[in-house]
Structure 1
Amino acid sequence: MSGAQAFDNYGLREEIKAYWSLRAESFDTQPGHEIFSESERAAWQSLLRRHLGPGEGRRALDLACGTAVVSHLLDDLGFAVTGMDWAEPMLERARAKAQSRGRSIRFFLGDAENTLEPDETYDVITNRHLVWTLVDPLAAFREWRRVLKPGGKVLIVDGDFVNPGPVARLAKKLGRWLERLGFTDPRPQNGPGAVMSETHERILSRVYFSGGARAEAVAALLAEAGFRNISIDTDMRAIHRTQRRNFSLLKGLERATQHRYAISAER
């Protein structure tokens, strides 16, 4: 890597960190981030159980844990959970949430691409909506494999948020048309404002998956990193159904037709 590339990556990583630090304040108010119903919680638990099995005290590392939504789901299933994030404002909210709920989840500041954790420490690694932000996903996947115990599993929940399908494109066009006619409010509800949206787009244009994090591309890098028994699960319908009541009709339609997936792989 050239010096110029290293400097650019340093700047990008810092921008990503600052972006999520600013997003922390409103993160738990946004559908699709926090869980707003027991039916949604059950749908997420079913997904985790399907790929990871019961917790039974096994050690789980929840990378880029944010405010600990997935960490709490893992704790519900009986895992011994450690949450890692490199945005301290996210961790402040994660710790407060765990304390208020009486959970013994451990949280610490760290980089998901270079965890500094000892070899063969965890039975399970999870992350949600992290992979699309990775600067060097192959190096990150090798790092995750290193800290997993032999036979341990990684579960990635992510999506391609760059290339919408035809239904999602139609929904966006219809949404813009309704905005122009004054039927809908163009301002995002409980989401990032215009400046943050611009920052998001600037980050997205510079990460590895700037063209979209397709499941097959992620799986190929996992295989290159040494993982085996790689499975791509695109059946997210149960989760989308439970989230729909918290979205507008058009937003719910867009989300349900996006390329979203869960990928599990074994060391």
Structure 2
Amino acid sequence: MSNAAPLDAEAVVSRGANFGLKDEIRAYWSKRAETFDLSYGHRIRSDAELEAWARLIASHVAVAIGARALELASGTGEITRVLLSLGCSVDAIDLCEPMIARAQAKHANAAVRFHLGDAENTMMADEAYDLVICRHLVWTLIDPARALADWLRVLKPGGTLVVIDGDWVTLSRRSVLLKRFSGLIDRLTGVASTWDQATHQRILNGVHFRDGLRAPALEAMLREVGFEAPRIGPLSGIARRQFATASWSERLRLLAAQGQSFILSACKPG
């Protein structure tokens, strides 16, 4: 886990010479913790969506009751809910204390342990986990090769890595127009934005996948560090469940994101 002193997101007013990209990532998502579950696609809003996530993950990895899972960048604990529903014993790691605090409040007395730390360098024990999983993390990685090697290290032989992510940069003309219409609806109805576009773009400009995270490129990186049997697929059934509970503005964003998201799994040789 990180040895750095806790960072109060509200205290970060300006960036000094020693304020790096990782610090900006921590500060940005710490500040977003309060409203993160309001962002479409993050909060699991119905039992039907929860079940759809469980089916999707179970289609990529055989999860036994009591399986040890390491959840990376666990945020407010939404995928944690899915893992617990599958019977996993969960270690969840996140860089941001405010995110962890919200997740802990959701999962008091559950079979989950939360850790403050860096998902790119987990500092967890070797060969300790049956499953390593993350959602919407990989696009933010600064050194993905190092991170993937660390995730391979902590998996048991035969264990599985599951990545849920997407290419949020390469947008079709249709997607751009749908997002603009969504933003217009938000402005007309007085819905405040839950994210800071300027800071988000500054972070994107500094990460490895600044030009977009594409599943085939990630698959190649996984093979290079030693993973085998990668599988890539769509988020089958998820968008439909999200659509059912979304506002009109959110529905336009979900339509704009069609084809961008993917699930990718790969195994550690056993």
Q: TM-score, normalised by structure 2?
A: 0.86
Match of residue 4 from structure 1:
none
**Counterpart check, 1:225 vs 2:225:** yes
Q: Which whole-Å CA distance do the structure 1 matches of 2:74 and 2:215 have between them?
A: 21
Structure 1 segment 135-150 matched on structure 2, within 5 A: 135-150=142-157
Note closer, same or farther for the CA distance 1:188–1:208 as it changes in structure 2 (3 Å cut).
Answer: farther
Structure 1 segment 100-111 matched on structure 2, within 5 A: 102-111=109-118
Match of residue 5 from structure 2:
none
Deviations for 1:10-35, whole angstroms, at most 9, x for unmatched residues? Answer: 70011001111001001122231111
- Unpaired runs of 5+ residues, structure 1, are 1-6
Q: Which whole-Å CA distance do the structure 2 matches of 1:143 and 1:167 have between them?
A: 38
C-alpha RMSD of the superposition: 2.1
Match of residue 47 from structure 2:
38
Runs of 4+ in 1 over 6 A off after TM superposition: 7-10
Match of residue 164 from structure 1:
171
Deviations for 1:212-231, whole angstroms, at most 9, x for unmatched residues? Answer: 00111111111111100011
Note closer, same or farther for the CA distance 1:197–1:153 as it changes in structure 2 (3 Å cut).
Answer: same
**Counterpart check, 1:26 vs 2:69:** no
Contact 1:71/1:82 (8 A) holds in 2: no
Shift in Å, 1:233: 0.9
Match of residue 237 from structure 2:
238
Q: Which whole-Å CA distance do the structure 1 matches of 2:86 and 2:41 have between them?
A: 20
Per the alignment, in what secondary structure is the counterpart of residue 206 of structure 2?
Answer: coil
Shift in Å, 1:251: 1.8
- Unpaired runs of 5+ residues, structure 2, are 1-15
Q: Which whole-Å CA distance do the structure 2 matches of 1:239 and 1:13 have between them?
A: 30
Per the alignment, in what secondary structure is the counterpart of residue 135 of structure 1?
Answer: coil
Amino acid at match of 1:265: A
| Number of aligned residues | 250
Q: Which whole-Å CA distance do the structure 1 matches of 2:182 and 2:70 have between them?
A: 39
Mean Cα deviation higher: 159-168 or 206-215: 159-168
Q: Which whole-Å CA distance do the structure 2 matches of 1:165 and 1:121 have between them?
A: 41
Note closer, same or farther for the CA distance 1:123–1:188 as it changes in structure 2 (3 Å cut).
Answer: farther
Amino acid at match of 2:166: G
Shift in Å, 1:191: 4.0
Deviations for 1:153-211, whole angstroms, at most 9, x for unmatched residues? Answer: 000000000011343133235557xx3xxx65268846425xx2110011001100000
Contact 1:137/1:208 (8 A) holds in 2: yes
Per the alignment, in what secondary structure is the counterpart of residue 52 of structure 1?
Answer: coil
Contact 2:56/2:236 (8 A) holds in 1: no
Q: Which whole-Å CA distance do the structure 2 matches of 1:263 and 1:198 have between them?
A: 29
**Counterpart check, 1:89 vs 2:98:** yes
Note closer, same or farther for the CA distance 1:224–1:207 as it changes in structure 2 (3 Å cut).
Answer: same
Contact 1:168/1:258 (8 A) holds in 2: no
